[in-house]
A and B are shown apart, each in its own frame.
Chain A
Amino acid sequence: MADLEQPGHAQPGHAQPDSAHHRPTVMTSGATFGVSPSQTVGPFLHLALGDPDEALVVPVGTVGGIWVRGTVTDGNGDPVPDAVVETWQTCTGDAAVPAGFVGFGRCPTDEDGRWAIHTVKPGPVPAAGRRRAAPHLAVSVFARGLLDRVVTRIYFADEAEANAADPVLAELVEPARRPTLVATATEDGYHLAMRLQGEDETVFFAL
């Protein structure tokens, strides 16, 4: 902790630390530092978070590649055109890790609230308490009007047996709300409608 009180990387030729001018911005309380609060991404997130390559968790053409597509809508059912959806998955299935697998996908929503990433379906995922979770993606949604990201998951409808035994989906989420976390099969992958608020509101998690 003490080293935070010093300038971390003063460069050669610079004046020595002068306590009259240097104020550490991190406030300490007891043994730990207070965490930096979250703020909204605002409406112009595309300037930094919108690189089209980031939607490709695996390159197009990868064997077993699927498109996971979705929509983000608000409490009125209107599309959210200034959100960004991020997915994270480890490669935990039996299959070898595909070439170019990065695990992380990111796609801003378009005018109709649509987003899509190209990935491979994950295998079962180690869960808390030495259990196994059904295949799923960990998902963050950021948007104008969200002061913190919201965290959710995407499960897959054709994993009914694994989903029914999933320690989160089957045990912590009330039955009527489970479909909000389960993507349905499409021609080239899966689709899930996410609703930030209102009827059929997506289940969001506290980490």
Chain B
Amino acid sequence: MTTPEPAGLPAGYAPPAPGTNAPLASPAYRSTGGRAPSRPLVPLPPGLHELTGPLFGADRVRPGDADLTRGPSGEAVGQRIVVAGRVVDADGRPVPDTLIEIWQANASGRYRHDRDRWPGALDPNFTGAGRTVTDAEGCYRFLTVRPGAYPWGNHTNAWRPAHIHVSLFGRSFSQRLVTQMYFPDDPLFFQDPILGAIPDPAARRRLVSAYDHDLTEAEWALGFRWDIVLRGPLAVPFEQPGEDDHG
């Protein structure tokens, strides 16, 4: 891993359009109640730390990390799926060499985690975690099983729609994103306060993958395409103290 050269840094990253991100205090998602900050966020003029970020290379990933279906004693249970797409910034530029980490419930909707008490069956061949690095074009690909929906205590008869948690670093601290990918036409969307907290319906749809028959592998796995868009840089360069004044 290396730190990017400070030269040529943007002045900052354009904020997402209003309505893209959920308000931190979103009462329908009850856990925000005690945790969402109550004071307004203080606007931060970005410095070197906000304009750079860790660049993880292939050294961070072991062979097989992008395949979640192979367990110690055989294949994971469930519908085998390919999840693939492209990571770009808001200007459409590919984001290459960026680490993507995913975690998810198994086909029964159960996480391999001590705190998950939902009595869905555990699968000894499914840990539910994977990682990969995007290629030069920003493309990524995982092989996994389709996660199940699971109940939770947020409201009466609450069920999380099937989803995969996804973490991305982008090229800078300002582009860091942790989000969730959903599956098309899930009937549980209407009652989910986490996806539903996103104000703009078009932004919500960006978290929903599309069935893609071109990604589907004959006699092997169904394909879902999901492209991810990170914040894009502002055009004006970041000028560091002591740099010559070119004016």
**Beta-carbon contact of A49 and B167 below 8 Å:** yes
Partner among B17, B42, B209, B225 whose Cβ is within 8 Å of the Cβ of A7: B225
- A89–B3 Cα distance when bound, in Å, is 9
- Do A125 and B194 contact each other (CB < 8 Å), given the known contacts A38-B178, A44-B113, A206-B41? no
With A136-B49, A167-B45 already in contact, 12 other A-B pairs whose C-beta atoms are closer than 8 Å? A4-B88, A25-B208, A32-B232, A34-B229, A41-B165, A43-B113, A44-B113, A48-B167, A49-B167, A88-B49, A149-B178, A196-B35
Q: Which of B199-237 contact A (CB under 8 A)?
A: 202-215, 217, 225-232
Closest-by-CB residue of A relative to B215 is: A7
Q: Which of A8-16, A63-71, A185-193 contacts B (4 or more CB under 8 A)?
A: A8-16
B22 at the interface (CB under 8 A from A): yes
> What chain B residues lie within 8 Å of A142 (beta carbons)?
178
**Beta-carbon contact of A102 and B101 below 8 Å:** no
> What chain B residues lie within 8 Å of A157 (beta carbons)?
none
Q: Which of A88-124 contact B (CB under 8 A)?
A: 88-92, 102-104
> What chain A residues lie within 8 Å of B214 (beta carbons)?
7, 10, 14-18, 21-22
**Beta-carbon contact of B52 and A90 below 8 Å:** yes
**Beta-carbon contact of B210 and A24 below 8 Å:** yes
Closest-by-CB residue of B relative to A76 is: B34
**Beta-carbon contact of B213 and A33 below 8 Å:** no
> What chain A residues lie within 8 Å of B26 (beta carbons)?
147
**Beta-carbon contact of B230 and A15 below 8 Å:** no
> What chain B residues lie within 8 Å of A44 (beta carbons)?
103, 111, 113, 115-116, 165
- Do A90 and B48 contact each other (CB < 8 Å), given the known contacts A145-B31, A173-B42, A197-B38? yes
Partner among A10, A23, A25, A197 whose Cβ is within 8 Å of the Cβ of B34: A197
Number of chain B residues close to chain A: CB under 8 A: 107
B64 at the interface (CB under 8 A from A): no
Residues of A within 8 A of B (CB): 1, 4, 7-10, 14-18, 21-27, 29, 31-49, 74-76, 78, 80, 82, 86, 88-92, 102-104, 125-133, 136-138, 140, 142-151, 167-168, 172-173, 196-198, 201-207
- Can you list 11 contacts pairing A with B, beta carbon distance less than 8 Å? A9-B135, A18-B213, A32-B91, A35-B20, A37-B204, A82-B115, A145-B32, A146-B24, A167-B45, A172-B42, A201-B37
A-B contact count (CB 8 A): 304
B39 at the interface (CB under 8 A from A): yes
B92 at the interface (CB under 8 A from A): yes
7 closest A-B pairs by CB:
A145-B31, A128-B45, A104-B54, A205-B44, A145-B35, A138-B49, A206-B41
Partner among B137, B139, B208, B213 whose Cβ is within 8 Å of the Cβ of A22: B213
Q: Which of B125-141 contact A (CB under 8 A)?
A: 127-131, 135, 137-139, 141
**Beta-carbon contact of A25 and B47 below 8 Å:** no
> What chain B residues lie within 8 Å of A1 (beta carbons)?
92
Query: How many Å from the CB of A95 to the closest CB on chain B?
Result: 15
